Amino acid sequence: MPKPKIGLSMLYCLSEPFSEMTKRLAKVETRYIEVLDEGLHSLNKKRIATLKEAAASYGFTFSVHAPFADLNIASPSKPILTASIKRLKESMEYANALDAKLWVFHPGNKTGISVFYPDKDWKQNIESIIKLHETAEEYGLNIAMENLPEKYGFIMKQPEDFHRFYKETGLNDIGIVLDVGHANLEAQIEHFLRQLPDKIVHIHASDNMGENDQHLGIGNGKINWQQFAKILNEIAYNGAIVIESIDHVNESLQRLRQLLA
């Protein structure tokens, strides 16, 4: 049975310049890398060329995490919405140029006026994803949406939201990125894995104590990773699992490898 590939998100060094991040690529202990098109690591043509050289030298497969700071694809404000979609489409263009295996994006979030317009965020979120999907199809780019916790205002947080999304849009080729840390804040890890095994194409792994999205090393929080590994085995998950911890990164890679061996 094919095993999941264990990869690494470069989130842990997002505070460093892009050039420092690429130096780290010579030493990382995996061939599957998720780069963030965000902050100091925001992509451009020159940076894509640098990453492609690294891929040729070291044999990397890349996924790209879409930008998310101050973006909201469910925004009720037209200028914010337009800017968000423009920036995300640009990111898809970069992901395509990088031959990324997957482009991971965040669904939208509520705002200070959401309470006055019930379900408006949901509808806008769907309309925006339909637009992003059209662009992805033009590129032939695989895209997947991530679950995010309700406590930070996100509207796609539980398995029910994803069931509803597929039912309303029929966009079955948009996969789910199960963020295990986010799902833990909703006590939904097992439910996601059991209810949507055919939709989950990619996993973000980091630990937390169940209260905040701490991005701890695997095993340094309260997530039951043995149970997680057992269910992955039962559902024959064979996508990537990308470590999104911001410390104990190498230990996390080793722990996950041991768990899934």
Cα 176 from Cα 157, distance rounded (Å)? 11
Nearest-approach distance from CB 154 to Mn ion, in angstroms: 11
Helix (H) or strand (E) holding 7: strand 5-9
Provide the b/e sequence for 49-74 (b: ≥16 CB within 10 Å): ebbeebbeeeebbbbbbbbbeebbbb
Instruction: Tell me which residue has its CB nearest to Mn ion.
Output: 204
8 - beta bridge partners?
33, 243
Cα 143 from Cα 175, distance rounded (Å)? 7
Q: What angle do CA 98, 240, 261 make, to 5 degrees?
A: 140
Nearest-approach distance from CB 233 to Mn ion, in angstroms: 22
Residue 127 tokens, joined: 């309309």
Cα 119 from Cα 108, distance rounded (Å)? 12
Tell me the residue type at 100. Answer: A
Nearest-approach distance from CB 51 to Mn ion, in angstroms: 20
- When the beta carbons of 45 and 145 are compared against Mn ion, the nearer one is 145
Q: Do residues 106 and 146 lie in contact, with contact meaning Cβ atoms separated by under 8 Å?
A: yes
Nearest-approach distance from CB 179 to Mn ion, in angstroms: 4
Residue 91 tokens, joined: 């990111």
Nearest-approach distance from CB 207 to Mn ion, in angstroms: 12
Helix (H) or strand (E) holding 102: strand 102-105
- When the beta carbons of 136 and 243 are compared against Mn ion, the nearer one is 243
Residues that bind Mn ion (CB under 5 A): 179, 204
**Coil, strand or helix at 91:** helix
- When the beta carbons of 149 and 219 are compared against Mn ion, the nearer one is 149
**Coil, strand or helix at 62:** strand
- When the beta carbons of 204 and 255 are compared against Mn ion, the nearer one is 204
- When the beta carbons of 199 and 204 are compared against Mn ion, the nearer one is 204
Nearest-approach distance from CB 202 to Mn ion, in angstroms: 10
- When the beta carbons of 15 and 57 are compared against Mn ion, the nearer one is 15
- When the beta carbons of 110 and 202 are compared against Mn ion, the nearer one is 202
Nearest-approach distance from CB 254 to Mn ion, in angstroms: 20
